[in-house]
Amino acid sequence: MTISDVAEAAGVSRQTVSNVLNAPERVRAETRERVTRVIAELGYHPNHMARSLRASSPRMIGCRILPVHAETVAAIQDRFLHALAEAGQECDHHVLLFTAADVAAETERCTTLWRAGAVSGVVLYDITPDDPRVGRLTAAGVPFTAFGRTATSTEQYSWADVDNAAGTAAAIDHLVAAGHRRIGFLGWPEGSSVGDARARGWLTAMDRHGLLAGSHRLDVRGGDTTSNGTRLMAELLDRPGPPTAVVAVTDTLAVGALHAVRDHGLIPGRDIAVVGFDDSPAATALGLTSVRQPIEEVGRLVMAEMLRLTDRTSGADGEPPAEPLHRVLTPELVVRASSAPLADAPLFDLEAHSLRP
């Protein structure tokens, strides 16, 4: 007899049955009475030792917070941490933030916090293709879930990710539909899971539309700063046969590109289209078309998986442990004036909204 049997017989979720057993004040009286009756009829007896172990959990999930560069407009980790904290609070869990100089120090910090009982587990952010944190934390026995995934061995741990390639591909489809054929790409140097996936989306979509052969010189790379975005965009605009549209790997590079467009006497949306990625507040302010990540949903999924991984009663009532979380979410293209201005709407003024450093 398991908690799932009780939930099915009572017509409620496992969580509701758990609440009736551990926090009955959270459940409506009618539902509580029905579940209690079914528990008595089925003769269900929860594992009290396992429940005691769970009650002693620190109810804290650790996550390293990354430094913010002075020349960035993105706030993706802030949004993710906010979503993670909200999801945890609903289940009486909280997020413990910490800093670390690099991934080696982060791994050591995660292991120390977990062994000291300060956290129940940790969340990994900014995953690289061959990220060493995955293997090290697995070997140390630290429960973790990642936002992002490595290039290999993804079946061995829990993760949620955004289909970054689909995001840039959607941007290309939008620009091609608008009549553009020379579409540039402002990307990061190779070696980032996110950056490489977004570059792959540009590559495959351009190839699908038969435009890759004429655009191979329009792929330029640089670090994620607005000044690099300005420099890279200026390089493209100064070349023979410049692009009529560009897709940037982030809004940070896209904002820099907008400044280069202005410096060349061009108007975004009319003379050249610019699309970013991440749908930051700056994208809204500047009328920048951008790809929006479902960050809030990622945060909820990651926290739910952390609660599953750190619930010491998992499988204690005769139920097999669930499979690790492996979810890929689809982003959404938000079209604004920088790629498709409305006929009756004024184009945005970059001077009035300057984000230059």
Q: What is the pLDDT of residue 47?
A: 55
Q: What is the pLDDT of residue 1?
A: 66
* Three-class DSSP category at 179: coil
Task: Read off the tokens for 52.
Answer: 């005691």
Q: What is the pLDDT of residue 314?
A: 44
Amino acid at 140: A
Q: What is the pLDDT of residue 43?
A: 80
Q: What is the pLDDT of residue 320?
A: 47
Amino acid at 17: V
Q: What is the pTM of this model?
A: 0.78
* Three-class DSSP category at 83: helix
Greatest extent of the chain over all pairs of C-alpha atoms, in Å? 80
pLDDT (tens digit, 9 = 90+) per residue, 291-344?
A: 999 999 999 999 999 999 987 444 444 454 578 999 999 999 999 999 975 343
Q: What is the pLDDT of residue 353?
A: 43
Q: What is the pLDDT of residue 195?
A: 95
Q: What is the pLDDT of residue 41?
A: 86
Nearest to 122 by CA among 356, 332, 306: 306
DSSP 147-169: ES--SS-GGGSEEEEE-HHHHHH
Q: What is the pLDDT of residue 100?
A: 96
Task: Read off the tokens for 264.
Answer: 């060349």
Spans of the chain below 50 pLDDT: 49-50, 52-54, 312-318, 320, 342-355, 357
